[in-house]
Amino acid sequence: MSTTAINILLLVTAVALASGGQLSMKAGMLKVGEVTREELSDFKGLVIRVVKSHWVVIGVLMFAVSAVFWLLVLSRVKLSIAYPMIAAGYVVVVFFSWLLLGERVTRIGWLGLILIVAGVIVTAQGL
């Protein structure tokens, strides 16, 4: 495999894990419910409630594994090119937020997403 192919593979893995982690964390926090300032005063109780949601724990773990892949990417790719690539995760996250979590995405939301994806594709030319 060429260096570029390996770098793309590492980036895709990091982004996929980060996106899966985000969706999992959101599924968990939907069960926990809205965290308000009053709840921050009982911080311990709040932490127990959040950790008890398995989706949050799975999401955080995926996030952690994604960080390991991310460090591998950073050792090989310029930050100015690697970092904007993370935006590829928008497609995955917004699409599944709409599909699985039932979030409404407005037409303007999709339009913004298309612009972000175009930006990612343009930036990827530097890889």
Partner 1 sequence: MSKTVVNVLLLILCVTLAATGQIAMKAGMNEVGEIAGEDLAHPGDLAVRVLESVWVVVGVLLYLISAIFWLVVLSRVPLSVAYPMIAIAYPVVVAFSWLLFDESVQWIGWVGVVLIVAGVSVTAQGLKTGVVAKELTPDR
User: Rounded to an integer, what distance in angstroms lies between the CA atom of residue 118 and that of residue 124?
Assistant: 10
| Closest distance of CB 74 from partner 1, Å | 4
- Residue of 10, 26, 11 whose CA lies nearest to 89: 11
**What x/- string results for residues 2 through 21 when contact with partner 1 is judged by CB under 8 A?**
----x---------------
Q: How far is CA 3 from CA 6, 18, 77, 82, 94, in A?
A: 5, 23, 10, 14, 30
Of 5, 12, 48, 67, the one binding partner 1 by CB under 8 A: 67
Q: Per CB under 8 A, does 55 bind partner 1? A: no
Positions touching partner 1 (CB under 8 A) are: 6, 22-23, 25-26, 29, 32-35, 37, 50, 56, 60, 63, 67, 70-72, 74-76, 78-81, 83-84, 87, 89-90, 93-94, 97-98, 101, 103-106, 108-109, 111-126
